């Protein structure tokens, strides 16, 4: 068979790549290479995930017995820090920061993002924001819940100003990342790549970036007002100072609901890539999937009031929010059906990333459908602020977003580090995470509906059995995550050398060396029809998917 | 706003009575506590409708996924999926329209039950609810106040007019499916029509600080006669009680959070075995635990602060003479 290169001829010639081109700590801390920034985000957000996970295990440990293992105040700090660390340090920045940064410019055949220095600033702001959260820990912790609801957060005498300023700074990190990606997608697409010839990952990251830029400033303003109220005693949200307690919830959710889409759209973006590559077919209804990302981003701004059906908000306002909430369920359903149909008549390969992708489909279905119980006003009244809600958003944030993050990591890891991980261990991790996750969270639906409120340090004995099942699940989940992370990291030292294109992906990141050279490409690869799998054939000897030379010229010198 | 078509659509499906038990002796279902109010039936119907729609689609999607992963699995040398249409308007419109129609029913029936729970009947029996960190106070029309329990007459509309003294709390009785936030700086209202006598639990559902999880109160629904007797007795709380019993009752409602009756230390000193003993104070002085010392400790607690305890107790100047007598009698009964 006629192939134009193999995996030995595709590097710089001297074996240099972006990892070893320069060395020393400063070459990393002041790098403006999007790939190195992506790698640092990867390590940072995985670290944040492990810290948040540790708090989760402490929360679950406390709930082993009805009276709790820790005192109430300690428990309240655990669940607050679990939520704040996971949301602000892991789930929001995770996929765009780690995989978006690494992959997006490569997919566009570009040398970097549009503003490499601002990209470095984003990373630095993330790190500074993380330090503020460390300061929260050191100065006594917070117990407001990650939502900082007023007036409790204002009257709270703990170190919550640090947390608020930390979240404020992380907001700017997010805004700069979004700004960068918007400009990159608009200005740096290669000649010949129209909007509807972009990989769906680019579409997803682009929609996310739009929300990051438009919604995050509202969080910044809100948190600043909260800090001013707390430090200067200005009455904004605290009724005892003449403020309005519910106003905060409007402001907070005006950001934090779109933030859910900041989290889920990049996850969906990954799933589109995985479903196509491992089914060896173009995503079914590509155009509709692309438009549905934009639709979800747009509708996402108009649904915040569904967090407030019991707050005393007018019933008619509630009706509007309920309506808009259902309107967002349709594009989400479309995506699921389209991903499924992508497998139809495909050639489905079940490598580790695909295990995560299929688990995502299942978990996102449950997470999405249970959202309807909460978007429906009548049923939300009973379920609001119970474990049903806790379970629902964990099916979205863990069952969907974390699964997609892991799927994406297992997919692009060989490209990032040039090593293949152990396939058996990868699958073992996926299975343990899937089992542990469902054992943890499915019982929480039942608990919530039966009458278990959330954020309770202790509870009625009738819920003990379900709480114990949930706690056992959480520890299985913890082991699964440890196995997954170990599998990836150990591959850097133990793994076999990865070929350029181990999965047969069609987008441009697979056409450069593994790991990529510092400037990504010697020559910009030619633009081909998106998700065209026909020129790729598997080479048993090298484990690489070779591109049959239809066009002339060697892209790798 | 009136959408008769939707109404008809919802009631059409609603008449089919999806698996909702109406047996009054039932102990609740797998998903729900017992249905003890008129709202419960309405809101549960919507829940079960969404539940079955969700179960059906979850099964469909997972079955399709597993089937295709097996049927179209990779076979050696098959490097590309078979040619098939890249998209299909027929399919895509179908799977947009069907979910759309199904969700309209849940959206509308949910709105109807929400409006039912949000429309407070004008002439209902009204209970004033005051929430604070971390206790509830219920005030009945005859002036009676209770703290540790809430009683309601069966088959009667009851309105709750609620306010908070500090932060946001949440008022939730799962058996009634009733929930409303209790917000400082304004009144919020909700109501219920209990349909079944029994004991239920009221929870605080909006996180309100350290002891949020202890803001639970027992709710008793009883027949009108028993309720009338009970509420009259609460208005004159000492009626029919000895001084000791009355004192114990006050203790259990207002003092128990800091003072135990069994020798254990909570925040303040325990009352057990203190009567007639000599108490030593922070300033070095001392006094015998007698009637006057107890009175003084209630109205000006920090003037004679027992050695080793924090000055945590606020003055309780609005206790009546009867109540103070009761407390003295109760402390006396705990021995020396």
Give the pLDDT of residue A13.
59
Gap between the Cα atoms of A73 and A86, Å rounded? 20
pLDDT over 90 percentage in chain A: 74
Question: What is the location of CATH 2.60.40.420 in chain B?
Answer: 125-235
A366 CA: distance to closest CA in chain B (Å): 7
pLDDT in tens, B273-298: 899 898 989 888 899 999 999 999 99
The dihedral formed by the CA atoms of A135, A255, A304 and A239, expressed in degrees to the nearest 10: 60
Token duo for residue A189: 């697409």
Element (H, E) at A179: helix A160-187
pLDDT in tens, A508-541: 999 999 999 999 998 888 898 999 998 999 988 8
Token duo for residue B127: 């209970």
CB contact under 8 A, B213 and A323: no
Instruction: Work out the pLDDT band at A10, boundaries 50, 70, 90.
Output: very low
Q: What is the average per-residue pLDDT within A26-51?
A: 94
Instruction: Work out the pLDDT band at A329, boundaries 50, 70, 90.
Output: confident
Q: What is the average per-residue pLDDT within A370-376?
A: 94
pLDDT over 90 percentage in chain B: 53
Q: What is the average per-residue pLDDT within A115-127?
A: 95
Nearest Cα neighbor of B291 from B219, B243, B225, B223 is B243
B-chain residue closest to A66, CA distance:
B213
A376, A459, A465, A547, best to mutate vs chain B, most B CBs in 10 Å: A376
Interface of B with A in 232-291 (CB under 8 A): none
DSSP string, A477-519: HHHHHHHHHHHHHHHHHHPEEPPS-SS---SGGGGS-SSPBTT
Residue B185 touches chain A, beta carbons under 8 Å: yes
Q: What is the average per-residue pLDDT within A452-474?
A: 95
- Give the distance, in angstroms, between the CA of residue B174 and the centroid of all CA atoms in the same chain: 7
CB contact under 8 A, A240 and B112: no
Query: Taking a C-beta distance cutoff of 8 angstroms, is the pair A292, A265 a contact?
Result: no
Give the pLDDT of residue B183.
95
More confident residue, A150 or A98: A98
Gap between the Cα atoms of B30 and B47, Å rounded? 13
Q: Is the pLDDT of residue B25 over 50?
A: no
Token duo for residue A396: 């979205």
Q: Is the pLDDT of residue A255 over 50?
A: yes
Residue B203 touches chain A, beta carbons under 8 Å: yes
DSSP string, A207-260: HHHHHHHHHHHHHHHHHHHHHHHHHH---SS-GGGT--HHHHHHHHHHHHHHHH
* Tokens 């306010």 sit on residue: B163
Give the pLDDT of residue B10.
52
Facing residue for B64 by CB, picked from A330, A340, A454: A340
Instruction: Work out the pLDDT band at A374, boundaries 50, 70, 90.
Output: very high
Token duo for residue A282: 């173009």
- Total length of chain A: 557
Give the pLDDT of residue A157.
60
CB contact under 8 A, B114 and A378: yes
Interface of B with A in 79-108 (CB under 8 A): 79-84, 86-88, 91-92, 95-96, 99-100, 103-104, 106-107
Q: Is the pLDDT of residue B86 over 90?
A: no
CATH number assigned to the domain with residue range A25-547, chosen from the 4 options 3.40.30.10, 1.20.210.10, 1.10.10.10, 1.20.1560.10: 1.20.210.10
Give the pLDDT of residue B1.
44
Report the range out of A230-244, A261-275, B262-276 with the highest average pLDDT: A261-275
Q: Is the pLDDT of residue B53 over 60?
A: yes
Question: What is the location of CATH 1.10.760.10 in chain B?
Answer: 243-333
More confident residue, A486 or A525: A486
* Tokens 């300690």 sit on residue: A74
Q: Which residues contact A5 (CB under 8 A, 6 or more apart)?
A: A546, A554, A556
Give the SS3 label for residue A57: helix
Residue B181 touches chain A, beta carbons under 8 Å: yes
Q: Is the pLDDT of residue A141 over 50?
A: yes
Cα within 13 Å of Cα(B194), Cβ side:
24
B-chain residue closest to A457, CA distance:
B213
Q: What is the average per-residue pLDDT within A1-30?
A: 68
CB contact under 8 A, A143 and B54: no
Q: Is the pLDDT of residue A3 over 70?
A: no
Q: Of A268-272, A483-487, B116-120, B299-303, give the lowest mean pLDDT range.
A: B299-303
Give the pLDDT of residue A118.
95
Angle among Cα B190, B192, B194 to the nearest 5 degrees reads 165
Interface of B with A in 147-166 (CB under 8 A): 166
pLDDT over 70 percentage in chain A: 95
Cis bond before residue B51 (omega within 30° of 0): no
Q: Is the pLDDT of residue A373 over 90?
A: yes
We find that the CATH architecture of domain B125-235 is Sandwich (2.60)
User: Chain B residues with CB inside 8 Å of A455's CB?
Assistant: 207, 212-213
Q: In sequence order, which ranges of B76-167 are alpha helices (DSSP H)?
A: 89-118
Q: Is A521 exposed, middle or buried (0-12, 13-18, 19+ CB in 10 A)?
A: buried
Q: Is the pLDDT of residue A1 over 80?
A: no
Interface of B with A in 2-41 (CB under 8 A): 28, 30-33
CB contact under 8 A, A458 and B213: yes
- Average pLDDT along chain A: 91
CB contact under 8 A, B31 and A446: yes
- Between chain A and chain B, the number of residue pairs with CB atoms below 8 A apart is 267
Token duo for residue B145: 């106040």
CATH class of the domain defined by B243-333: mainly alpha
B-chain residue closest to A456, CA distance:
B213
Facing residue for A343 by CB, picked from B43, B68, B170: B68
Q: Is the pLDDT of residue A552 over 60?
A: no
Q: Is the pLDDT of residue A33 over 50?
A: yes
User: Chain B residues with CB inside 8 Å of A538's CB?
Assistant: 79
């Amino acid at each position: 068979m006629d192939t134009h290169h193999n995996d030995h001829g595709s590097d710089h010639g001297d074996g240099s790549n972006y990892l070893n081109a320069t060395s020393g700590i400063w070459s990393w801390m002041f790098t403006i290479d999007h790939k190195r920034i992506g790698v640092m985000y990867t390590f940072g957000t995985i670290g944040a995930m492990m810290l948040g996970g540790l708090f989760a295990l402490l929360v679950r440990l406390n709930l082993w017995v009805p009276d709790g293992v820790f005192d109430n105040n300690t428990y309240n700090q655990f669940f607050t820090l679990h939520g704040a660390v996971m949301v602000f340090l892991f789930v929001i920045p995770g996929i765009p920061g780690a995989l978006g940064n690494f992959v997006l410019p490569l997919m566009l055949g570009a040398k970097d993002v549009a503003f490499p220095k601002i990209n470095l600033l984003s990373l630095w702001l993330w790190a500074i924001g993380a330090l503020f959260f460390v300061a929260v820990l050191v100065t006594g912790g917070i117990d407001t819940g990650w939502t900082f609801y007023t007036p409790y957060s204002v009257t709270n005498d703990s170190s919550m100003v640090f947390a608020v300023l930390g979240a404020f700074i992380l907001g700017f990190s997010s805004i700069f990342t979004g700004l960068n990606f918007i400009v990159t997608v608009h200005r740096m697409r290669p000649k010949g790549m129209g909007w509807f010839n972009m990989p769906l990952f680019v579409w997803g990251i682009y929609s996310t970036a739009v929300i990051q830029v438009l919604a995050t400033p509202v969080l910044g303003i809100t948190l600043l007002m909260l800090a001013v109220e707390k430090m200067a005693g200005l009455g904004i949200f605290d009724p005892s100072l003449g403020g309005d307690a519910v106003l905060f919830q409007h402001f907070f959710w005006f950001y934090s609901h779109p933030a859910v889409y900041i989290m889920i759209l990049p996850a969906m973006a990954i799933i589109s890539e995985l479903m196509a590559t491992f089914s060896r077919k173009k995503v079914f209804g590509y155009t509709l999937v692309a438009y549905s990302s934009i639709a979800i981003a747009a509708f996402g701004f108009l649904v915040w009031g569904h967090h407030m059906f019991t707050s005393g908000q007018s019933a008619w306002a509630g009706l509007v929010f309920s309506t808009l909430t259902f309107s967002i369920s349709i594009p989400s359903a479309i995506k699921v059906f389209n991903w499924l149909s992508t497998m139809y008549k495909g050639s489905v390969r079940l490598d580790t990333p695909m295990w995560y992708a299929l688990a995502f489909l299942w978990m996102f279905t449950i997470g999405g459908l249970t959202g309807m119980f909460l978007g429906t006003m009548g049923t939300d009244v009973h379920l609001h602020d119970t474990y049903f809600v806790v379970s629902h958003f964990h099916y979205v944030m863990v069952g969907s977003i974390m699964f997609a993050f892991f799927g994406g990591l297992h997919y692009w890891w060989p490209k990032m580090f040039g090593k293949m991980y152990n396939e058996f261990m990868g699958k073992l991790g996926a299975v343990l995470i899937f089992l542990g996750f469902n054992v943890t969270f499915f019982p929480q639906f039942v608990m919530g509906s039966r009458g278990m409120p959330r954020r309770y340090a202790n509870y009625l004995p009738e819920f003990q059995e379900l709480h114990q099942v949930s706690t056992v699940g959480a520890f299985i989940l913890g082991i699964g995550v440890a196995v997954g992370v170990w599998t990836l990291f150990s591959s850097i030292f133990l793994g076999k050398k990865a070929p350029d294109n181990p999965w047969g992906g069609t987008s441009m990141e697979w056409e450069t060396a593994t790991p990529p050279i510092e400037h990504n490409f010697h020559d910009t690869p030619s633009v081909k029809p998106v998700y065209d799998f026909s020129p790729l054939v598997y080479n048993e000897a090298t484990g690489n998917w070779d591109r049959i030379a239809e066009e002339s010229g060697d892209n790798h010198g | 706003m009136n959408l008769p078509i939707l109404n008809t659509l919802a009631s059409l499906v609603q008449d089919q009575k999806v698996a909702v038990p109406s047996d009054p002796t039932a102990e609740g279902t797998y998903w729900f506590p017992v249905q003890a109010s008129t709202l419960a039936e309405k809101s549960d119907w919507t829940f079960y409708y969404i539940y079955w729609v969700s179960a059906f689609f979850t099964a469909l999607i997972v079955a399709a996924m597993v089937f295709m992963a097996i049927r179209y699995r990779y076979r050696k040398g098959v490097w590309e999926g078979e040619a098939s249409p890249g998209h299909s308007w027929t399919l895509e419109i179908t799977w947009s329209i069907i979910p759309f129609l199904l969700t309209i029913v849940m959206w509308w029936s949910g709105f109807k039950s929400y409006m039912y729970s949000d429309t407070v009947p004008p002439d209902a029996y009204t209970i004033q609810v005051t929430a604070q960190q971390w206790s509830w106070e219920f005030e009945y029309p005859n002036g009676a106040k209770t703290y540790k329990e809430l009683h309601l007459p069966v088959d009667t509309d009851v309105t709750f007019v609620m306010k908070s003294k500090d932060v946001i709390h949440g008022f939730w009785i799962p058996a009634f499916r009733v929930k409303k936030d209790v917000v400082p700086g304004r009144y919020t209202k909700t109501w219920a029509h209990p349909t079944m006598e029994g004991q239920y639990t009221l929870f605080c559902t909006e996180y309100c600080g350290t002891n949020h999880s202890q803001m639970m109160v027992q709710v008793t629904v009883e027949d009108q006669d028993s309720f009338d007797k009970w509420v009259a007795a609460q208005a004159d709380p000492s009626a029919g009680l000895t001084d000791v019993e009355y004192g114990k009752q006050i203790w259990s409602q207002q003092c128990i959070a800091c003072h135990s009756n069994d020798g254990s230390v909570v925040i303040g000193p325990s009352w057990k075995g203190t009567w007639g003993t000599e108490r030593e104070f922070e300033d070095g002085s001392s006094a015998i635990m007698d009637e006057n010392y107890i009175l003084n400790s209630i109205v000006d607690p920090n003037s004679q602060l027992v050695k080793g305890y924090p000055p945590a107790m606020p003055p309780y100047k609005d206790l009546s003479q009867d109540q103070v007598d009761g407390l003295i009698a109760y402390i006396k009964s705990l021995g020396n």
